[in-house]
Every structure is written in C-alpha cells, then in structure tokens.
Amino acid sequence: MFGTLSDRLTSTFKNLRSKGRLTESDIDGTVRQIRRALLDADVAVPVVREFTGRVRERALSAEVSGALNPAQQVVKIVNDELVGILGGESRALNFAKTPPTVIMLAGLQGAGKTTLAGKLAKHLREQGHTPLLVAADLQRPNAVTQLQVVGERAGVPVYAPHPGIASEAEVPTGDPVEVSRGGVTEARAKLHDVVIIDTAGRLGVDQELMRQAADIREATQPDEVLFVIDAMIGQDAVNTAKAFLDGVDFTGVVLSKLDGDARGGAALSVASITGRPILFASTGEQLTDFEPFHPDRMASRILDMGDVLSLIEQAEKAFDADQAASMAQKIVSGDGFTLEDFLVQMQQLRKLGSMKKMLGMLPGMGQMRDAIDNFDEREVDRVEAIIRSMTPQERTSPKILNGSRKARIARGSGVTPAEVNQLLTRFESAQKMMKQMGRSGGLPGMGGMPGMGALPGSGKRAGARTPSKGKKNKAAQRKASVQAMKARKAALAPETDAAPAGSSFGLGAGPGQPASVEDLQLPADLEKYLKG
C-alpha cells in the first residue's frame, strides 16, 4: 500500500546522501519533497503540515549540523516523526480483571468488520484465550451466516440467536442490543474469557448507526471498542474517524485492507487526528493475514528499511522445532538431504504466508518491487506437485531418474520435462550447499562460523581446505618420480670409494671407475627424456 510513498521518500533521501554538508536550502528542498509525497499519499493536510514543520525544525537544529553524517541524521528524524504520527508506541489489548473481556467492533459497512472479527478471534485463540463471537449485525443481508462461516474456519463458537435478514427486501426485526447483552451472558455462563461483538455498519455515517452503537456500548460496557477503518478510503477517513469518535468514543483502531494498492493516507492520519492508537492491521484475505500494529516497524517499512522483527516472529510461529533440529543434524552430517526434506522446507515457507509479503519485509526490497510483484506464488505449488508425483525411491535417490521417469513425473504433475529438470538442478545445488555447510561449519565460501570450531563428525578443523582429487593424483605422481630417481641413482652408484676432489662426475678417478661417459651403463630410453 505504501509503495509509492516509499519510493518517493527513498528517492529524496538518496539525493541527500550524496552531500557531505547540508545547507538550509537543501533542507527546505527535502521538506518540500516530503510534503508533496505525503499529500499525494492522501495524508490529511493538518497532519502533513504538523509533520513537515517538526521535521524542518529538527533538521535545522544542532543535532544535524553537528552530526558526522547529516543526511543519515535527517533520515532518522523523518523515521522518528513517522513513528510519532503512527501512534508512537504499540499497545496491546486491555483485558478485564474479571472475565469475560468484551470487545466491540464498530465501523462503516464494507470496512471488513465481520472478517476481522474472525481474524481477531483466531489470533486470541492461538494465544490461549477462549473467545466467543456474537452476531449483532442483524441488518446486513446474510451477515449472521457470514460470521458463522468465519467462526467455523477460525475454530471459534458463534452466538447467533437471531438469523438476521437474507435480502434487502426484508425488514430487520431483531434487537442488536438484546443479542449483544445475551452474548455476554452466554460467555459468562460457558466460561469464555473474551467476547467479540460484530455490530452493524452503514454505507455512510448517520444518527441511527451511532445511536445503535452507543446503546450496545451502554448495555455491554465493553473493555475495548475497536474502530475498523478501511485503509483505502483516503481523505474521508478523517471525517469518518471523527464522527465515530464523537458518537461511540472508541478506544483503538484496526486498519483493514492494508494489502490494497491505494495510497494509504488513512493509516498515517487516523492515529494522529483521533489520538487513539492503532492496535491491529489486516494485511490480506486469509484469517492468518492479521498482525499487531507496531508504529516503529511500519515506519521502517515505509522508509524501505525492512521489518525483520516481524519476519522473525512469523518464522518462530510457523517453523516446527523438531523438524528444524532434524534438518540441522542432516546439514551437520553432510548427507541425507533428500527431495522429501526439500518439500518439507518449501511447505514450512508457505506457512509464513505470501512470499511477496515476506520479501517485502527485507531491507532494501523497495528497489526490487517490480520483480517482487511479478513473482508467481504458484511456483511453490508446481514444485510440490512435481515431488509428490515421484515414488519414495525417486525422492531419496533422484539420480535414478531417466528420461522415461521424468516424462511420467511431468505428466503426473501437469508440467513439462524441462521444469522437472530445472527442479532437479535447483535441488542438486541445494544439496551441494548443505554438504559444504556440513564440512566447513558455516555458509559456503565463508569457512567455519566464528567461535564454533569444527562441527561434530566433520573430522577437520573449521575452515580447513580439502585438496581436490586432481591435486592428490599430481602429488602421488611426484612422489613416485622421486622414488624412481633414487632407485636409479642407487643402481648407478659406484661400489668403491667416492671420487676425489676435483672430479665432478667421478670419472677416471680410481680403480673400477668408468673412463668416459660412453662406458656408463645408462638406460636405453634415456634419450627421450633428454629431448624433453
């Protein structure tokens, strides 16, 4: 969502880094470009004015003029101010001292409240809570049915005493306030520690919506009122947020549709305008595309500095510890890495979510945004189909794959034999890398890891070089040649005393010695060696 803004800001800072000293005119030009980038991203004008004013004031102060690298200091100031307008520090949910904790969702129709209720419920269930969803939206057609489907996918029960309406032609008859009150009572009776109330939305802000939401709040006394806002609605987000703040007085904000391609100014405006923190962000259509909102990490993403911490947290949840230990042992031993293991690694990567999303969390990936956008997520599916079309023996010993076997695998997986060959080539490269890591105790080309020494079973010190087969053969040939020369020397050596001084070749020096070179009994094939 923040791609365009990120590109504009990165380009601005790139021009700054080429200057060793910043003048007032340089700073004014930088602030002017930042202002344009924020306005183009649909950030509210009061927020832009306040943000650029603080950036300019700090950039002209002593903290920049006295810095060793003024350009980097300006980037740091912009990062700090971005964190500020995004809410400062991240905040977790406030849970009630006496369960159940009541969480009420409010927002416009189409903002994604019902789906987000399921995402929040799944998120809390994974943390050990026992949430209950309450279907209090009785005015949107099939809203109750949708929440029941979402709850089933999330593995969370749904309290829905009233079916709601099935079409626009029907007149709503249920009482959302009574349903909400009954949901809290149901949760208390069945020992659910969290209640999530999905309320009705409207196509626009009106008094009926506000009155109904206020009545539900008064009846249930929620611990958190979360305002769900569509991050794609632009400048209108500010007016909507103010209206809900006055009518319902929410305690936190949830950004939905943060994976969209809109300009995303709502995310940079709502926290600063309302003074309420952003607690969560919805980043996709799947129930797992949901994460706590961290202002510092979001600012880092906008400035193309990556979000490695979030990537690590997702990896810790997705990867199995036992499988990781088993794979580490195979790397240490240097063998046993099969196509089955390759498939397991690919499947664990899929648990992290979208590959595009993961790549976007790495620092500097903004420069490769086009390549990331063109990445085909179905490539992982094709790899899995190819490997699953193999027999267990073929997965363990891919060297037995001949042309007919590859053609059979290609037909079974719906790909071409060329794609099967490409996979085998990639796997062979990965297998070689694993073996090299096992021998050296580190990444290929880096030797042993510092402080680790040799890995168990390697039999060599970390980083030791292993002579190639060709070098071993040459060494053996040299050794054999030296031994042959010694043998010939022993065969030609005189059996009498050594030659007297002055006789360099030991010729004609005493009894039994040959008088000339011709008298020496030299090998018959010596001439060809002399010619060489």
Q: Per the annotation, where are the binding residues for GTP? A: 107-114, 198-202, 256-259
Phi, psi of 104 (to 5 degrees): -110, 135
Task: Count how many Cα atoms sit within 13 Å of the Cα of residue 456 in the half-sphere of its side chain.
Answer: 3
Give DSSP secondary structure letters for 159-191: E-SS---SSTTSPP-S-HHHHHHHHHHHHHHTT
Give dist(CA 416, CA 18) in Å, integer.
Answer: 49
Query: Tokens 């009994």 belong to which residue?
Result: 521
Binding site, by residue number, is 107-114, 198-202, 256-259
Pairing between strand 278-282 and 101-106? unpaired
The DSSP 8-state label assigned to residue 175 in this structure reads: -
265 closest CA partner among 255, 279, 250? 255
Listed residue (99, 193, 183, 187) closest to 144, CA to CA? 183
Q: Decide: helix, strand or coil at residue 286.
A: coil
Match 């580190």 to its residue by tokens.
442
Residue with token string 């065969």: 491
Cα–Cα distance for residue pair 109/228, rounded to 1 Å = 10
Tokens at residue 406, please? 């590859």
Which tokens belong to 77? 């100031």
Dist CA 420 CA 404 (whole Å): 12
